Amino acid sequence: MIKNNHYKKILRRNLIFYMLLVLMISIVFSLFFTYTYYNKVNSSLINFERTMKLKEKNKTKEKVLKLILQLELYQNFLLKDKKNNEEVNRVLLKFIKTLSFNVNDYIFVFDSNGKQLIHFEDRYEGVNRINLQDSNGTFIIRDLIKIGKSLDGGFLEYTASTGDKDLSKDKISYVNYFAANDWIIGSGVYLDYLTQSVQIEQNKLKKELNNQLFIYMKYSILFILFFLIIGYYLYKHIEGLLDYYKEVIESKNQKLRDLNKLIKTKVIEVKEDNKKKDQLLFQREKLAFMGELLNNIAHQWRQPLNEIISYASISNFSLKNKKISKQELHKNLDGIVSTTTYLSQTIEDFRSFFSNSSNKEFKSTEKIIEQALNLFQPISKKENIKVLIENKIKDKFILNSFLQVLLNLLNNSKDAFTANHIKNRLVKIKLNFVDNKILISYMDNAGGIPEKLHDRIFEPYFTTKGDSQGIGLHMTYQILTLHMKATIEISNKRIEVDGMQQVGACFDIKVKEYYE
């Protein structure tokens, strides 16, 4: 339930992020399109203003050039009619004045001396205006005469009156030279007229821009609403899927919990079975080993028993014949006591080894080694195995089950000696105490164990001997790691035997000391 709510919170957070992302994208696109369209409109206005100005200039130039051409033709016609020059000039000026006269479309004429011949204000006609200046200090007539007499004429921008007092506007005029009469003929247009045209176009484009912005905003809102609806639908759909899969997962989890309980029960049962099986195998291995020990001990006990019989027989015969002194009798009795004590100790060692309860007891390392050697003595004597002990610790206690470990290792060495036909057989056991741990190093010269088998040597039922169950070293590992909480490592090392270096298996054991 908690996990499901967590996923729902994540889903809601992602939905909010998705909505904000869509909103930001919409705003960015709207701003981008607005900016793009604004630049387009602004560029159009600039181009329109340039185009309008160029168009008016071309129109004015064309009008002036066309007029000059008409004047030339008309003058030639009048002169052929044998009219004098003054009369021809009057006719030409009258013709010019009749063409068109308003403030934004009129023809002005003056001679090269600056005398105004035609102006839309009659009061300036006949007046010499050579020194006329605008508000910027430009000598308008002088500059127009200079431009007009140039090769193709030209344009001049200046500030001119509009006919109203105290009212001047920026104006652009084109002039050209009518050489036949020494006239400067021109026409111009006030720039505010162009500004008005540009303003009209600007208002038109602004209206178009506003319409376009409205369209962008409308589609942006629709875009946002569309994706919000899709996002909400996806959210509800995924939320429903989460609830559905929550139920499915809960059902599966319940089945898994039931299955885990069943598996745990089975595992416990299997462990118990394996434990019982291991105990039986260990016990069987123990009994087999004890059978071998008993066989060897039975053979070895013949001599102590013969000694007891001999001491008793001699003492009995001597007492009957009164041929034994008190000292000799005590000596014979001491021999019987010593021998029976040895036999009793052997029985006690067997009892300790065979008893499961004794494995939970703690004994000194010296006592355990002594017991191991006593139990193994019949075998070591029979197999000619020499056991050396280097014990550098005293009064350190260890679990009695370590006795089984030592006997297993000794028995393993005995089998290896026989399998590898080793003649000078040696086992060396070293005991040290470092960092509150008892270190036991067990070595033999039986040829060692192949390195590739080191990882498997403690596995159950693993053996390199055809007649072995493969339980001994596994039992050793189980006792050390599970019961004694110790560690064991295997390696091959060299050991000196009769002045010669030979290879053998080395078992390094680390176990914590027990404090009484």
Last-in-domain residue among 129, 160, 195: 195
Residue 10 pLDDT greater than 80, yes or no = no
| Higher pLDDT, residue 501 or 472 | 501
Q: What is the CATH number of the domain that holds 375?
A: 3.30.565.10
- Binned at pLDDT 50, 70 and 90, residue 302 comes out as low
What number is the average pLDDT over the span 28-35? 72
- Binned at pLDDT 50, 70 and 90, residue 441 comes out as very high
Residue with tokens 């960092």: 435
Quick check: 511 and 437 in contact, CB under 8 A?
yes
User: Which secondary-structure segment (H or E) carries 344?
Assistant: helix 326-354
Quick check: 443 and 493 in contact, CB under 8 A?
yes
Last-in-domain residue among 163, 195, 227: 195
Distance CA 439, CA 444 (A): 17
pLDDT digits (tens, 9 = 90+) for 89-121: 888 888 888 876 665 677 889 998 989 998 878
Residue at 70 is within a domain: yes
Structure token digits, residue 251: 């059902």
Distances from the Cα of 231 to the Cα of 18, 24, 220, 246, angstroms: 8, 15, 16, 22
How many domains would you assign to the chain? 2
Structure token digits, residue 323: 């041929």
What per-residue confidence (pLDDT) applies to 249?
A: 82
Last-in-domain residue among 131, 165, 195: 195
Q: Collapsing DSSP states into helix, strand and coil, what is residue 137? A: coil
Residue 405 pLDDT greater than 60, yes or no = yes
Distance CA 221, CA 22 (A): 11
Residue with tokens 């001047």: 168
Distance CA 104, CA 486 (A): 117
Quick check: 169 and 9 in contact, CB under 8 A?
no
- Torsion angles phi and psi, residue 389, rounded to 5: -115, 130
pLDDT digits (tens, 9 = 90+) for 260-283: 888 888 888 887 777 676 666 666
What per-residue confidence (pLDDT) applies to 176?
A: 92
Residue at 392 is within a domain: yes
Residue at 436 is within a domain: yes
Q: Which of 64-73, 124-133, 223-232 comes out lowest in average pLDDT?
A: 223-232
Residue at 106 is within a domain: yes
Residue at 208 is within a domain: no
Distance CA 369, CA 375 (A): 10
Instruction: Give me the chain's average pLDDT, please.
Output: 78
What per-residue confidence (pLDDT) applies to 357?
A: 47
| Higher pLDDT, residue 357 or 62 | 62
Residue 351 pLDDT greater than 90, yes or no = no
Quick check: 128 and 113 in contact, CB under 8 A?
yes
Write out the DSSP string of 499-515.
Answer: TEEEEEEEEEEEEEPBP
What per-residue confidence (pLDDT) applies to 507?
A: 93
Residue with tokens 């508000």: 135
What number is the average pLDDT over the span 436-453? 90
Q: Which of 96-105, 126-135, 303-312 comes out lowest in average pLDDT?
A: 303-312
Distance CA 438, CA 309 (A): 45
Residue 466 pLDDT greater than 70, yes or no = no
Query: Which of 473-479's residues contact partners 24+ apart within 8 Å by CB, and which partners?
Result: 473/408, 473/412, 475/278, 475/281, 475/282, 475/285, 475/404, 475/408, 476/404, 476/405, 476/408, 476/409, 478/278, 478/282, 479/401, 479/402, 479/404, 479/405
Strand partners for 155: 174
What per-residue confidence (pLDDT) applies to 220?
A: 75
Distances from the Cα of 512 to the Cα of 378, 397, 399, 485, 490, angstroms: 31, 9, 10, 8, 19
What per-residue confidence (pLDDT) applies to 401?
A: 80
Residues of the domain holding 427 = 356-512
Q: Which of 91-100, 215-224, 505-514 comes out lowest in average pLDDT?
A: 215-224
Residue at 160 is within a domain: yes
Question: Distance between the two ends of the chain, CA-based, in angstroms?
Answer: 54
Global pTM reads 0.42
What per-residue confidence (pLDDT) applies to 347?
A: 64
Residue at 297 is within a domain: no
What per-residue confidence (pLDDT) applies to 282?
A: 60
pLDDT digits (tens, 9 = 90+) for 168-210: 778 888 999 998 889 999 988 877 766 776 677 777 777 877 7
Cβ atoms within 10 Å, residue 261:
10
Structure token digits, residue 124: 């300036």
Residue with tokens 């007046």: 127
Residue at 410 is within a domain: yes
Residue 428 pLDDT greater than 90, yes or no = yes
Distances from the Cα of 32 to the Cα of 40, 45, 207, 213, angstroms: 12, 20, 19, 11
What per-residue confidence (pLDDT) applies to 241?
A: 75
Largest CA distance in the chain: 210
Residue 132 pLDDT greater than 70, yes or no = yes
Cβ atoms within 10 Å, residue 8:
16
Strand partners for 494: 503
Q: Which of 72-81, 97-106, 159-168 comes out lowest in average pLDDT?
A: 159-168
Q: What single letter denotes the amino acid at residue 80?
A: K
Residue 246 pLDDT greater than 70, yes or no = yes
Q: Which residues of 29-50 are buried (b: 16+ CB within 10 A; e: fewer)?
A: ebeebeeebeeebeeebeebbe
What number is the average pLDDT over the span 472-488? 83
Q: What is the CATH number of the domain that holds 189?
A: 3.30.450.20
Structure token digits, residue 349: 């060692």
Three-point CA angle 446, 476, 393, nearest 5°: 80
C-alpha dihedral (240, 244, 246, 248), degrees to nearest 10:
-170
What number is the average pLDDT over the span 74-102? 80
What per-residue confidence (pLDDT) applies to 358?
A: 47
